[in-house]
Amino acid sequence: MTNSEVIKIVRGHIERQFPMQCSMCEHRFLTLKDYLEYTTHLGEPVSYDAERGDWQPLDPLGTLSYANCRCGTTLTISSHGIGHLTM
């Protein structure tokens, strides 16, 4: 698998998480672009499976990327379920 194929899979998985809505202010993010423009990214994505040292967990948690909505609520984008995707 090439890097561009991997990027296509990851981006497609992330884009399928939209539309998304903030639970506090109810701002609706129709696309990934909307989300990136309206939020402030918080640090590096966190892989909870890797932190536990378990690279083949039975019930994977995935990697989470955190961002704050303009209202201050923390939102996440997750890699959960990406292993079930096909190209």
Q: What DSSP assignment string belongs to 25-59?
A: T--EE-SHHHHHHHSEE-SS-EEHHHHTT-SS-SS
Confidence of residue 87 (pLDDT cuts 50, 70, 90): very low
Q: What's the pLDDT band for 84 if we cut at 50, 70, 90?
A: low
What is the pLDDT at residue 20?
Answer: 97
pLDDT digits (tens, 9 = 90+) for 36-82: 999 999 999 988 776 666 667 777 778 999 999 999 999 999 998 88
| Mean predicted confidence (pLDDT) in 9-27 | 96
User: Which two tokens mark 33?
Assistant: 């672009």
Under the banding of pLDDT at 50, 70 and 90, the label for residue 21 is very high
pLDDT higher than threshold 80 for residue 3: yes
